């Protein structure tokens, strides 16, 4: 059996327990080979935004084994939570990377990626005479005009 490759994304401001807890759980999974030996089911790796160490919220330091630039194929990618994800440069970098590698990864643990556009033709909403504020029924249309959105949602 070939162990599945599990990549945990490490970044400054990661919550250490979100990285270490699941990593420990994956690393404990093993099979008996019939000769009293244990075969590991998973290879655990920390993937860094860069080759430099990253510091968790608690001060704990993680050293990435691979970086976003030198990445290979994975069976599962886990994006742990943490205050560091509130920094736009970190969140955008991770989101861009996840979008590029999602089709080459079997599972994205608790991660939802969405993208879309509303009011593609950039039409004005229909006029509603009884509307008090802006002349349209905002439950049916928006006055924003055309806009696009990209989102990444992480479930914990």
- Could you list the pLDDT tens digit for every one of the 156 residues in the chain? 788 888 899 999 999 999 999 899 888 888 888 888 888 889 999 999 889 999 999 999 999 998 887 766 778 888 888 899 888 888 888 888 877 776 666 665 556 656 666 766 777 777 777 766 777 776 666 677 777 666 666 665
CA angle 150, 154, 105 (to 5 degrees): 80
pLDDT for 26: 87
Counted domains in the chain: 2
Are both 10 and 84 inside the same structural domain? yes
Q: Which pLDDT belongs to residue 29?
A: 87
Q: What is the pLDDT of residue 53?
A: 94
The residue behind tokens 């560091």 is: 84
- pLDDT at residue 48, as a whole number: 92
> The domain that contains 27 carries what CATH number?
3.40.50.880
Residues 23 and 116: their CA atoms lie apart, in Å, by: 33
- 100 and 145, same domain (yes or no): no
Q: Give the count of beta carbons closer than 10 Å to the beta carbon of residue 6.
A: 21
Model pLDDT, residue 44: 92
Predicted local confidence at residue 13, as pLDDT = 94
Q: Which residues of 118-152 are buried (b: 16+ CB within 10 A; e: fewer)?
A: ebeeeeebeeeeeeeeeebeeeeeeeeeeeeeeeb
pLDDT score for 121: 72
Assess whether 13 and 88 both reside in one domain: yes
Do both 29 and 58 map to the same domain?
yes
Q: Give the other-Cβ count within 10 Å of 38's Cβ.
A: 10
Domain of residue 127, residue span: 112-156
What's residue 131's pLDDT? 65
Same domain, 62 and 119: no
Whether residues 136 and 98 share a domain: the answer is no
Say what the pLDDT of residue 107 is.
60
Instruction: Kindly state whether residues 73 and 16 are assigned to the same domain.
Output: yes
Q: What is the pLDDT of residue 111?
A: 62
Quote the pLDDT of residue 91: 87
Q: Are residues 127 and 101 in the same domain?
A: no
92 lies in the same domain as 23 = yes
């Amino acid at each position: 059996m070939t162990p599945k490759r599990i990549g945990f994304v490490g970044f400054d401001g990661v919550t250490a327990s979100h990285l270490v807890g699941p990593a420990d759980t994956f690393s404990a999974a093993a099979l008996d080979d019939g000769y009293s030996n244990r075969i590991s089911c998973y290879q655990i790796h920390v993937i860094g935004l860069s080759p430099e160490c990253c510091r968790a919220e608690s001060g704990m330091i993680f050293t990435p084994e691979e970086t976003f630039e030198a990445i290979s194929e994975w069976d599962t990618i886990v994006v742990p939570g943490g205050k560091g994800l509130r920094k736009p440069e970190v969140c955008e970098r991770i989101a861009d990377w996840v979008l590029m590698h999602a089709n080459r990864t079997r599972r994205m643990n608790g991660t939802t990626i969405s993208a879309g556009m509303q009011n593609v033709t950039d039409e004005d909403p229909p006029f509603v005479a009884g509307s008090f504020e802006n002349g349209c029924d905002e439950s049916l249309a928006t006055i924003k005009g055309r806009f696009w959105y990209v989102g990444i949602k992480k479930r914990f």
